[in-house]
Amino acid sequence: MPVQTVVIKSRDEIALMREAGRLNAEVRAILREAIRPGLTGRELDVLAKAEIARRGAECTFVGYGPGGRPPYPGAICFSVNDELVHGIPGDRPLREGDIVSVDLGVTYRGWVSDAAFTCGVGEVSPEAQELMRVTEASLWAGIEQAQVGKYLGDVSATIGSYGERAGYGIIQEYGGHGVGHEMHEPPHIPNFGRPGVGHRLKAGMVVALEPMFALGKPATEEMADHWTVRMRDGKLSAHFEETIAITDEGPEVLTRIR
């Protein structure tokens, strides 16, 4: 294994990443507005590609394919109900009561931003609503922990405590990560853990935090398309993600929708 060093960004570099993050937020807000019964992933993907191009930016996810996987075809991941992450946008229309995770990568002048939300389609069950509420709350609580001098374990443990308290399945195989010129940089950031362990947080670290919780058991499986990850037990899952910069002034959420 090569030594994985966390890349520290300068203030100037963070200023550039802020631009990539702002564009990601603008496009995500447009995508969120478009969610309704009848919409297909493919339609939303076409919209995402157009809005990214209009801003002179690139689709981070298009063509992505590490480790001999088929290149990813979409600008977004579109993961419905028991699909956890990496759902390929397709032709199945959303139905009232579904919940859908939309994940978006935007590259601008060589800098990546990575963020996701889950939302309901029309009216959804109270259980689905609560799952989304708790998953998002864990993200913002995790962000609050991303302070210079704290540890990665503080972030992970805080996120995990939300899932644990609610009795949700806490997904083990996927988590957050560093972001920069590459979408996935070290360190890997689990959504569970112990306070006070792992990397000491430094000013200039830029990371994507992405809690994923499920109403059932945490076990996942990859589908035959080599991308879509779903819950083995077929129960609902939720996923929220923001790209943040850790600064001496505190965490700065680069992808925040305003």
Under the binding rule (CB under 6 A), the answer on residue 114 touching ligand MF3 is: yes
Query: Which residue number, 86 or 230, has a Cβ lying nearer to ligand MF3?
Result: 86
Under the binding rule (CB under 5 A), the answer on residue 208 touching Co ion is: yes
Query: Which residue number, 62 or 208, has a Cβ lying nearer to Co ion?
Result: 208
Under the binding rule (CB under 6 A), the answer on residue 64 touching ligand MF3 is: yes
Number of residues engaging ligand MF3 in binding (CB under 6 A): 10
Under the binding rule (CB under 6 A), the answer on residue 230 touching ligand MF3 is: no
Question: What burial class does residue 179 get, using C-beta atoms within 10 Å of its C-beta: 0-12 exposed, 13-18 middle, 19+ buried?
Answer: buried
The torsion angles phi and psi of 84, rounded to 5 degrees, stand at -90, -60
Under the binding rule (CB under 6 A), the answer on residue 239 touching ligand MF3 is: no
156 within 8 A of 143, measured Cβ to Cβ: no
Integer Cα distance of 142 and 73 in angstroms: 31
Beta strands 111-120 and 99-108, pairing class: antiparallel
10: nearest Cα among 184, 200, 248, 243: 248
Under the binding rule (CB under 6 A), the answer on residue 72 touching ligand MF3 is: yes
Which among ligand MF3, Co ion, none contacts residue 61 (Cβ within 5 to 8 A by kind)?
ligand MF3
- Token pair, residue 205, equals 């670290």
User: Using CB under 5 A as the criterion, which residues of the chain lie in contact with Co ion when the complex forms?
Assistant: 114, 208
User: Using CB under 6 A as the criterion, which residues of the chain lie in contact with ligand MF3 when the complex forms?
Assistant: 61, 64, 72, 77, 86, 103, 105, 114, 208, 210
